[in-house]
């Protein structure tokens, strides 16, 4: 059961980091373009 809790916690942390990246990208698109982003996220931002 503790492994399941750890997995959920990790997923929440990753989601929070992803939202932080998206928020930063929305405010600073130029600076974020120099950061290595996952291809899907890069395509989404460029789209």
Give the SS3 label for residue 9: helix
How much is the pLDDT for 24?
78
Model pLDDT for residues 1-35, shown as the tens digit of each residue:
788 999 999 999 999 888 888 887 776 655 555 55
pTM score, whole prediction: 0.47
Phi and psi (nearest 5°) for 5?
-65, -40
pLDDT at position 11: 92
Number of domains in the chain: 1
Domain, as residue range, for 6:
2-46
pLDDT score, position 21: 82
- Number of helices (H) and strands (E) in the chain: give both, helices first: 3, 0
């Amino acid at each position: 059961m503790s492994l399941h809790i750890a997995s959920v916690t990790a997923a929440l942390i990753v989601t929070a980091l992803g939202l932080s990246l998206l928020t930063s990208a929305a405010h600073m698109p130029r600076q974020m373009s120099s950061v290595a982003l996952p291809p899907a996220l890069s395509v989404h931002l460029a789209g």
